[in-house]
Amino acid sequence: MIRQRIVQSLPLFRADARRALLEVSSLQCGALATWPLIDHMLRPLFLNSTPLFFLCLTFGSVLFLAFRWRLRPVGRTRWQQLLIELAVGGVLLCESIIISTVTLFLSIYCAPYAFIQFHSLKETGSPTFYSIVFNSIFYALSISSVAFFFLLRVLILVWRSWDRLRREHLHWALTHAHLLVVVMVAAIISCLLMTLAIWSGSGENRHELIPLLILPGMIFLTVISLAFVLPPSALFSYLFARHTTRRIEKLAAATSALRSGNYEVRVRVEGEDEIARLQADFNAMAIELERARHELRTERDAVSTLLNARRELIASVSHELRTPVATVRSYLESTLNNWQEVPPATLQQDLSIMEQQTIRLQVLINDLFTLSRVEVKHLELRCAPTNIELLIRRVAETTAPIAWRGSRVEIVADIEAATQEAFPEAMVDEHRLEQVLQNLLHNGIRHTPPGGIIVLSASATAQEILLQVKDTGEGIAADELPRIWERFYRTQQARQQPASGSGLGLALVKELTEAMGGSVSVSSIQGQGTCFSIRVPQALITNQPTRPLMPYHLP
The larger pLDDT score, comparing residue 267 to residue 129, is at: 267
- At residue 6 the predicted structure's pLDDT band, cuts being 50, 70 and 90, is very low
Decide if 505 contacts 402 (C-beta within 8 A): no
**DSSP string for residues in 47-116:** S--HHHHHHHHHHHHHHHHHHHB--PPTT--HHHHHHHHHHHHHHHHHHHHHHHHHHHHHHHHHSTTTTT
- pLDDT at residue 51, as a whole number: 61
- At residue 548 the predicted structure's pLDDT band, cuts being 50, 70 and 90, is very low
Write the pLDDT tens digit of every residue in 465-515: 999 999 998 888 888 888 888 877 777 666 666 555 667 788 888 988 998
323: Cβ contacts below 8 Å, ≥ 6 apart: none
The larger pLDDT score, comparing residue 40 to residue 543, is at: 40
Decide if 78 contacts 72 (C-beta within 8 A): yes
Q: How many residues comprise the chain? A: 555
DSSP E strands, 421-551: 426-428, 453-460, 464-471, 519-525, 529-537
Q: Select from 499, 485, 484, 381 the least CA-distant residue to 435.
A: 381
Q: Is the pLDDT assigned to residue 10 strictly greater than 60?
A: no
- pLDDT at residue 278, as a whole number: 86
Handedness of CA 244, 245, 248, 254 (dihedral sign): negative
Whole-model pTM over 0.85: no
Mean pLDDT of 85-103: 72
Alpha carbon distance 173, 236 (integer Å): 14
Write the pLDDT tens digit of every residue in 520-545: 999 998 888 999 999 999 987 654 44
Q: Select from 361, 364, 280, 287 the least CA-distant residue to 324.
A: 361
| Least-confidence region, from 43-52, 331-340, 404-413, 440-449 | 43-52
| Least-confidence region, from 121-125, 230-234, 497-501, 512-516 | 121-125
Write the pLDDT tens digit of every residue in 241-294: 777 778 888 888 888 888 888 888 888 888 777 778 888 898 999 899 889 988
Mean pLDDT of 49-67: 71
- Mean of pLDDT over the chain: 73
Name all domains of the chain by residue range, CATH numbers in brackets. Answer: 1-168 (no CATH), 169-260 (no CATH), 383-537 (3.30.565.10)
- pLDDT at residue 162, as a whole number: 79
- pLDDT at residue 471, as a whole number: 93
Alpha carbon distance 81, 323 (integer Å): 88
- At residue 141 the predicted structure's pLDDT band, cuts being 50, 70 and 90, is low
Decide if 209 contacts 130 (C-beta within 8 A): no
- At residue 211 the predicted structure's pLDDT band, cuts being 50, 70 and 90, is low
> Which range in 196-205, 218-227, 257-266, 315-324 is most confidently predicted, on average pLDDT?
257-266
